[in-house]
Structure 1
């Protein structure tokens, strides 16, 4: 019985860590996108759309090109 409780506690701790890491990743992604599109509503974007935007941010394009691309992607996401 003690083993079951210990294993359950470990599983729950792992799940909490994973959820926490996902929250941090989402927060970092949101901050990065808001640097280029401060008024963007990201609530309706899919994970795939956010990844496309992050790829644009991390590209070798100039800052103005990245800003234009990010704004375009955010505005046309709906």
Structure 2
């Protein structure tokens, strides 16, 4: 793999992570209100894709923000 390709791959991963974080924050806002998204923003934006995927699945059935992140 070239240095250029490695940079492209890293950029793609970062873009995917940012997109999933944005989606989760939007869902938190819609389901639990804007204060909720702000309360969890730092945690969501620091998460890796695997964790974000799990939280995106959890939000579908979550009854509270805490159950999204368990």
How many residues get paired? 59
TM-score by length of 1: 0.56
Long gaps (5+) in structure 1:
1-5, 60-65
Give me the whole-angstrom Cα distance separating, in 1, the residues matched to 2:56 and 2:64. Answer: 6
- Between structures 1 and 2, the one with greater helix share: 2
Q: Deviations over 1:30-71 (max 9, x none)?
A: 1011112211111354656xx45751x313xxxxxx5xx225
What do you get for the CA RMSD once the two structures are aligned? 3.1
Give me the whole-angstrom Cα distance separating, in 1, the residues matched to 2:15 and 2:29. Answer: 21
Larger radius of gyration: 1
Long gaps (5+) in structure 2:
none
Q: Could you say which residue in structure 1 is the equivalent of 2:26?
A: 31
TM-score by length of 2: 0.61
